[in-house]
Amino acid sequence: MSPVAEDDALAALEGFLRTRLDPVITGCKGPDFVLSFVPAMEEQAGPLFAIVVKGGTAVVEREFRGDADHTVRYRVREVLDLIGEKRELLGPFWADHLPLDRADWGPALYAFFYRNHPYRTLSPVLQEIYLDPRYWPTITPPTQGYKLYRLTTEHDLQRTLEVGLAYGGSTLFFLAAHARRGRGEHIALDPFQYEDYAGEGLNLIERSGLGERFRFEPVRSREGLRDLARGGEVVDLAYVDGDHMVWAVLSDLIGVDALLRPGGFLAFDDSHMASGKAALRVIAENFDYSVLPGWSTDRLTVLQKRSERRPPATLRARVTVARTRTKVMLERRRIVESLRSSLRRR
């Protein structure tokens, strides 16, 4: 984006913030609520959005505790129900309640809040994609991408893997980390790069000049992870950001666990969503991982694998299904079978 366009984006954003700082009616569907936005800054998690319920009294803030369950608590339960746990908080709000196309606002926000963020020094392509509405809101937020970059460099991780390439946002952070040290490899699995993204992720990676340490497998994670494990491959970090349906996330978890070395890192995007929470419960009750709150954000959970211990064939967990706390027993084999049948329906 040229400096002039960036100035325009900032001016538009400032106008938006001025009007929204006083609660205004934004056309919410709920009978008792009027929702609006108050941007809130939080150093670790990036900008969050408080939701103001009519009268301005009930402010709902997403509160990240960094506990073992990675619970994101809400002060007003009804609002959570209203927006539905299954959808990402920020994205659907923009879609449902902003008068303008949300695509106009994502990049403006990034430009506004992250003008001087160090992610901008990693690659000109990274600067570009966070200013371009085409990539919003698919790409990993820049603060989160930068955490992945730091995790990789500070722990000197050599082999990183990611489920879900899309426009290559997170991939560019991993590749920047490998380029900085002049060694390492990043593997991305995604069967829909050409079908859904017109090869744009691969183009951006090529344009960044960081592609030397990149390996792309255009396959579904289930097969891709299984084949890598059969080939005896081992990774130091796996970033799970593919299909967000619960069976798919659980299947990815089982697949990446087979590849991760003890001491390796598992990074879960969108772990505040129902599928992510279910996966975290399954991990807590069946796998030998510990949560690293310092590296997690409101939507990313980073865990470290403690030992080589294989999970039991039957995974037990108490998870929330359709807002009801339920005890479930999941056979590892059945998770993979459920995924297979849901893929057939796709």
Ligand X SMILES: C[S@@+](CC[C@H](N)C(=O)[O-])C[C@H]1O[C@@H](n2cnc3c(N)ncnc32)[C@H](O)[C@@H]1O
Angle in degrees, 0-180, between the axes of helices 3-21 and 105-113, rounded to the nearest 10: 100
Nearest distance, CB of residue 184 and ligand X, angstroms: 18
Of residues 16 and 265, the one with the C-beta less far from ligand X: 265
Of residues 138 and 203, the one with the C-beta less far from ligand X: 138
Whether omega for the bond prior to residue 137 falls within 30 degrees of 0, making it cis, is: yes
Strand partners, 295: none
Of residues 242 and 276, the one with the C-beta less far from ligand X: 242
Strand partners, 265: 237, 304
Written as one letter, the residue type at 178 is H
Of residues 23 and 168, the one with the C-beta less far from ligand X: 168
CB 292 within 8 A of CB 306: no
Of residues 169 and 184, the one with the C-beta less far from ligand X: 169
Q: Where are the alpha helices (DSSP H) in the chain?
A: 3-21, 77-83, 90-97, 105-113, 124-129, 142-154, 169-181, 193-197, 200-208, 221-230, 246-257, 274-286, 332-345
* H or E, element range at 49: strand 48-52
Nearest distance, CB of residue 198 and ligand X, angstroms: 12
Residues interacting with ligand X, by CB under 6 A?
138-140, 163-170, 189-192, 196, 220-221, 241-243, 248
Of residues 138 and 153, the one with the C-beta less far from ligand X: 138
Nearest distance, CB of residue 91 and ligand X, angstroms: 10
Q: How far apart are the first and last CA of the chain?
A: 37
Pairwise CA distance, residues 333 & 243, whole Å = 19
Nearest distance, CB of residue 135 and ligand X, angstroms: 7
Nearest distance, CB of residue 210 and ligand X, angstroms: 14
- What is the chain's alpha carbon radius of gyration, rounded to the nearest angstrom? 20
Nearest distance, CB of residue 230 and ligand X, angstroms: 17
Angle in degrees, 0-180, between the axes of helices 142-154 and 169-181, rounded to the nearest 10: 30
Pairwise CA distance, residues 48 & 37, whole Å = 10
Nearest distance, CB of residue 259 and ligand X, angstroms: 14
Of residues 52 and 279, the one with the C-beta less far from ligand X: 279
